[in-house]
Amino acid sequence: MTTSSADINGIKDKAAIVGIGETEFSFDSGRSELQLASEAIKAACDDAGISPHQIDGLIRYEMDTNQETMLIQSLGIENLRHWESVSYGGGAGNAVVGHAAAAIAAGFCNYVVCFRAANLRSQMRLGQARNPQRIAGGQQAFAAPFGSMAPAHQFSMFVRRYMHMYGATSEHFGWVAVTLREHASRNPRALRRDPITLDDHQNSRMVVDPLHLLDICQENDGAAAIVMTTPDRARDLRHADTLTLVEAAAQGSGPRNEGVIYRPDISVAESTNTARDLWARARLGPSDIDALMFYDHFTPFCLLNLEAYGFVPFGEAKDFVEGGQNIRFDGALPINTHGGNHSEAYIHGLTHSQEAVRLIRGTSTAQPPNKTINRVLSCSSVAQLSAAVIIRRG
Amino acid sequence: MTQQHDQNIKSRPMTGPLEGIPLPDLDRLPDYERGFWEASHSGELRIQKCSECDMFRHLPTPMCPYCHSLEYEWSKVSGKGIVYSFVVVRNPVHPAIREKEQVPYNICLIELEEQEGLRVCSNVLNIAPEDIYVDMPVQVTFMPTVEEPNVVLPLFVPSD
């Protein structure tokens, strides 16, 4: 029998996250995306204790407007030995971290940076209709004429079906919103810090039924960056006392995902595939994880991911999140202690891996009390393509 | 909180295609998509069907994803199906939706009776969005768009 890719964990503990950095998050940064990227990457280098001149690997989101050459110019990179771009906005979220770890494990470069920088409020807004008026074919031609023109339209289809299948209600999603906002209320970086109640969630306006306004992530400006190198080099850098390693990574799709809504069963996230590979590769399971960073573009996807990754059986996430106690920073399984895309900022999922690092360092603004965080799962589920990483204390 | 939704007041049903929004450009469609719109123009719902393995597929593709044959036909289907999932858009994200005050409107994912998992995206007419439910039986109907009379949309109405 041949070996499955899920049996191989070629990156295990071969890359260390040594620096994280970001700009302030805002609704109008007032500066170019190149400046945002440069500032975030410089901040991550400062955190690591290296100079941007030492960067020799860049992993960017394909959607990012900052090309490698622009950053070589702006940051004074001497020789870029490795570069990649990962396609799909949120789907790239944790994928860039996995790719960066792989580049280090393969020896392609010494100091690799993954980043996302965008004016997603003051310039291109992902939540608005962006289709051309005349569509030359493809999935848009079969959706936009019926008014399906924005991510919320497609993803809400999952949510309705999920509610139908498992009896989840808007109030269950509301408990996720309330909890994420509570976490953000402790986080000075967060855009939305005023605590909300379940009533506030239920009374927030219906945007795309079944999604209320308070189910939907922010649209904002900002940038985030992560620096990685080998564990050996990490031991000489600023955070040598807390080695933070990438233990495993996985990506997955499932079939028939073009156009999002034609998948075989849209009450189940595509991340079930990613989860299966991740656990197999890492030789770990849900009980080994101390905290969760879920890509929360829409609150219901936190429930879908709890089930996809096996933290609860299918259909039982609604009971697990009810009341919020289980998923609070001081609960059994904290979710998004930074406030997530929902309340901190929407930097296409990169802030989630950053927060995983803070939890391991013990520096989160919602650090779980009386509990050492040894392993964090950061993962996406964006209904088409998903990615996940396990970040652990070395 | 200006658009607070009162459960007791039902919204008006859709009666035809949305206006002013993106439409397919019939002159530029790839050959493997054109049959869908040509059939709709003739008042028929035809779905791409593999000539080798007889599996329906939507979205259309040049190759059969099941058996990899390049041969297909546009097979007429009954137009009967159920609402597999649906959403009700209440916030206008397109200028024409905003300017022509077209919210709320529904987007329905219709599962056709011919094959499990065979779904098309559409709107269901003649029903308040509050009355739409998953598994609701529907039947296809056809209406031209206001802007491009040659573009005829397959829409659905509730059936018994």
pLDDT in tens, A173-223: 999 999 999 999 999 999 999 999 999 999 999 999 999 999 999 999 999
Count Cβ atoms below 10 Å from residue B11 Cβ, excluding itself: 16
pLDDT at res. A3 = 74
Token pair, residue B73, equals 């036909």
3-state secondary structure A126-157: CCCCCCCCEECCCHHHHCHHHCCCCHHHHHHH
How does DSSP assign A177-209, residue by residue? HHHHHHHHHT-TT-S--S---HHHHHHSPEEEE
Long-range contacts of A69-74 (CB under 8 A, 24+ apart): A70/A34, A71/A34, A71/A37, A71/A38, A71/A41, A74/A34, A74/A37, A74/A38
pLDDT at res. A117 = 97
- Tell me which chain B residues have a C-beta less than 8 angstroms from the C-beta of A255: 65
pLDDT in tens, B28-44: 999 999 999 999 999 99
pLDDT at res. B7 = 59
- B3 pLDDT band, cuts 50/70/90, is very low
A135 vs B5, B25, B86: nearest CB: B25
A111 is catalytic: no
- A31 pLDDT band, cuts 50/70/90, is very high
Q: Environment class of residue A111 by beta-carbon count within 10 Å: exposed (0-12), middle (13-18) or buried (19+)?
A: buried
Q: Is residue A165 part of a domain?
A: no
What's the gap in Å between the CA of A26 and the closest CA on chain B? 22
CATH number, domain at A23? 3.40.47.10
CB within 8 Å of chain B, chain A residues 257-286: 258-259, 261-262, 264, 266
Distance (Å, rounded) from C-alpha A266 to C-alpha A260? Answer: 9
The answer to whether A160 contacts B85, with C-beta atoms less than 8 Å apart, is yes
pLDDT in tens, A7-20: 899 999 999 999 99
pLDDT at res. B5 = 52
Q: Domain total for chain A?
A: 1
pLDDT at res. A1 = 59
pLDDT at A54 over 60: yes
pLDDT in tens, B56-80: 999 999 999 999 999 999 999 999 9
pLDDT at res. A7 = 83
Up-side HSE of residue B140: CA atoms within 13 Å toward CB?
A: 26
Percent of chain B with pLDDT over 70: 95
Percent of chain A with pLDDT over 70: 99
What is the pLDDT averaged over residues A225-252?
97
- Tell me which chain A residues have a C-beta less than 8 angstroms from the C-beta of B153: 145-146
pLDDT at B129 over 70: yes
- B1 pLDDT band, cuts 50/70/90, is very low
A295 is catalytic: yes
What is the pLDDT averaged over residues A282-289?
98
A150 vs B24, B93, B151: nearest CB: B93
What's the gap in Å between the CA of B96 and the closest CA on chain A? 11
pLDDT at B2 over 50: no
pLDDT at A322 over 50: yes
What's the gap in Å between the CA of B9 and the closest CA on chain A? 15
**Mean of all residue pLDDT scores within chain B:** 95
- A382 pLDDT band, cuts 50/70/90, is confident
The answer to whether A145 contacts B129, with C-beta atoms less than 8 Å apart, is no
The dihedral over CA atoms of A345, A348, A353, A356, expressed in degrees to the nearest 10, equals 30
pLDDT at A92 over 90: no
CB within 8 Å of chain B, chain A residues 200-229: 203-210
Any idea where the domains of chain B sit in the sequence?
A: 31-158
Select the more confidently predicted residue: A268 or A376: A376
Would you call A129 an interface residue with chain B, using a CB distance cutoff of 8 Å? Answer: yes
Domain enclosing residue A34, as ranges = 9-124+218-393
